[in-house]
Structure 1
């Protein structure tokens, strides 16, 4: 039997539709992350559960996140027309705090100007998995949780 970490790593980068319940179950079994672990630049990817955010991020050419300090974060980095990573300023800034989510206290990125919280869990030394908790989606029936992963830039 494979571990939750191994199963999520296997699903990372897959282009086929994955049941959200499967990702949610595996996410809830992962270890927590300390806020300081998140510092640095990260590349982004997502698990295709059919969530509406997948299309939005693909259209804006989502590149990842930049954590300079726990209080100074560019939460949405995108690729410009020249392939450079740039901050998508419409999403403002963010901060990291330790927050409980599904019974586990772990690093959480809280947007300064939007009702969005990204909860992180440890996959390995180079990868974390995120669950986006957003009031923007709360009023939409059956929208679910957006699950993504970040890979540390070298």
Structure 2
């Protein structure tokens, strides 16, 4: 039996490029802690996703060159930031804006990003001060629930 914490296991999964299944990532996600009230999302976050087998949102994230998320405040979030042709991080207006609220999911009350103009909620769990785990819940038939992603604080290269 592994003595690895859920946080360590999640970070190891991020570091691995091996495909995984949604059930494995969901089980691990459910073991992570809720986002504490003192947590600051403000600023830029780089996004990544797991190569979960067969999820259409994984393919879409690659197609649109998903770069992450940008938090201006609790009530003003750019949920989809992409890379443009020059490699700059730009907000994808097509996806609208979002806000952060506390929402219960699988029995855990934690931060969630609620999209303003799409039927999507991104549930967020704590990995460490610079890494947040995400699980997309959607009523959009083209983007079914179960897309796992993560965001890391953006630290521009000097």
- Does the pair score TM above 0.5? yes
Relative distance call for 1:69 and 1:144 in structure 2 (3 A) is: closer
Query: Could you tell me which residue of structure 2 aligns to residue 28 of structure 1?
Result: 30
CA distance in 2, matches of 1:144, 1:136: 9
Residue 153 (structure 1) shift: 1.2
2:43 counterpart of 1:37: no
Structure 1: give runs of 5+ residues left out of the alignment: none
Among candidates 82, 98, 103, match of residue 94 of structure 1:
98
CA distance in 1, matches of 2:122, 2:36: 14
Alignment check: 8 A CA contact 1:76 1:87 kept? yes
- TM-score normalised by length of structure 1: 0.92
- Give SS of 2:151's match: strand
Paired positions, count: 151
For residues 35-81 of structure 1, the C-alpha deviation after alignment (integer angstroms, 9 at most, x for no partner) is: 65222210000111121111111011000000100011111000000
Query: Could you tell me which residue of structure 2 aligns to residue 47 of structure 1?
Result: 50
Residue 34 (structure 1) shift: 3.9
Alignment check: 8 A CA contact 2:44 2:154 kept? yes
Query: Could you tell me which residue of structure 2 aligns to residue 82 of structure 1?
Result: 86
2:118 counterpart of 1:114: yes
Query: Could you tell me which residue of structure 1 aligns to residue 76 of structure 2?
Result: 72
Residue 14 (structure 1) shift: 2.8
Alignment check: 8 A CA contact 1:34 1:98 kept? no
Among candidates 53, 60, 65, match of residue 61 of structure 1:
65
CA distance in 1, matches of 2:97, 2:103: 18
CA distance in 1, matches of 2:147, 2:27: 13
Aligned Cα RMSD in Å?
1.6
Residue 16 (structure 1) shift: 1.9
- Give SS of 1:136's match: coil
Residue 152 (structure 1) shift: 0.6
